[in-house]
Amino acid sequence: MNALPSIRGCLVALAMACLAGCASPPPAMQVVPLPVLPQGPVDMRVAYAVNPRLPRMDAAQLQLLLASMGEAVRQNFGIELRFSPVTEVPIASLFATIPARRRDDAARDSYDFKSGRGDRARLDKAFTEGFRSSGESMEAMRAFALPHTGPIAPGDTAFGARIAALQLERVALWSSRQALDGGPAIDNTPFNEFPMWLALGFGDVPYELVLTNQLIAGVELTWPAVHTAVRGGYSNGITTYSRLARYGTVSVWSTYAFGSNDAQLVQLRGGESYTPHEAARLAGLSGAHEIGHQLLHLLHPYGQAACLMHPVEMLAYRDWASKLSPRDCPVGSSPAMTPGVYKFEY
């Protein structure tokens, strides 16, 4: 989920307030409406945002990924997707289109784990408030986190602080990884930062789907997620407001966790190693999860392993995929699977 401020509809009011010498009210939040989908295929413009320092999928893998994604969306949601040819885009060029104000906002929403000088009290408060306003079941989130946290004292504050601590502890898994050039995979660029990807939709991004080989992992002061925290802040996918995308949102899906069989990734997958073919197929199948957010505005049915919208716990996608059953988790079968329950505010 994501929430970013909008200035639409506020420029005139802001100007009048400035002329009057009065403080202006904060911009009103808006909600992306649930899309009205066409009768035929849903067209998806696709980009592959590439960081040359990190492993990437080749053209054949990307086509397999999209085919797998399309099949999963058809089976689970009854929606036919039609993908454009993939446009390869340097990740730096894509990020350069984010307006300066949005970049500054995203930087403020990113917790400084790289230097170790972040404000822990602020982080704990952000997680607590984020979980309260998420629309997710607190009971279900507690159950999901329990194997990683052990029992947590009752109350939203204790839960928020523990999950924040868990994410901060485990982000070291990603900050210690190397890139292809031997340097750190997470460097001083903002490409790993989740809030920066949320801001991407305010830039020049005329796509419905952005695939990327970028490692997206960090600690942030906005939109905490239990399944992200247990992975050390790693986000495989993001769906966020977009001013240029059809239906008002863009889905981002990272191929990073599928592109290697090094010891750390295999451990996070619970021992699973993937051939290039299986990696692409599983990346597409799991990436269809983001399309459920984008086109149906679904949430996460935690604890319902048959559901495509149930997040993978760590990175064991083969095991996760083996439990899926579209028949046992149809659209509308639970509150989290009800179209429109996910509110994209901007």
Residues 36-84 have pLDDT tens digits of 999 999 999 999 999 999 999 999 999 999 999 999 999 999 999 999 9
Which residue matches tokens 């035929």?
40
pLDDT band at 28 (very low <50, low <70, confident <90, very high): confident
At 313 the pLDDT is 83
At 16 the pLDDT is 30
**pLDDT single digits (tens) 167-184:** 999 998 899 999 999 999
pLDDT band at 29 (very low <50, low <70, confident <90, very high): confident
At 104 the pLDDT is 95
**pLDDT single digits (tens) 200-255:** 999 999 999 999 999 999 999 988 999 999 999 999 999 999 999 999 999 999 99
Give pairs for 80-85: CB < 8 Å, separation 24+.
Answer: 80/40, 80/41, 80/42, 81/41, 81/42, 81/44, 81/291, 82/41, 82/42, 82/43, 82/44, 83/44, 83/46, 83/209, 84/43, 84/44, 84/45, 84/46, 85/46
At 312 the pLDDT is 92
Taking residues 94-121, report their average pLDDT: 92
Q: How far is the C-alpha of 44 from the C-alpha of 89, rounded, in Å? A: 16
Residue 145 has pLDDT above 80, yes or no: yes
Q: What size, in residues, is the chain?
A: 346
At 118 the pLDDT is 86
Cβ neighbours for 181, distance < 8 A, ≥ 6 positions apart: 53
Taking residues 312-317, report their average pLDDT: 92
Q: Do residues 177 and 186 make contact, with C-beta atoms less than 8 angstroms apart?
A: yes
User: With pLDDT > 70 as the criterion, what percentage of the chain qualifies?
Assistant: 92
Lowest mean pLDDT among 114-123, 145-154, 266-275, 327-336: 114-123
Please state, rounded to an integer, the average pLDDT across all residues of the chain: 90
pLDDT band at 341 (very low <50, low <70, confident <90, very high): very high
pLDDT band at 120 (very low <50, low <70, confident <90, very high): very high
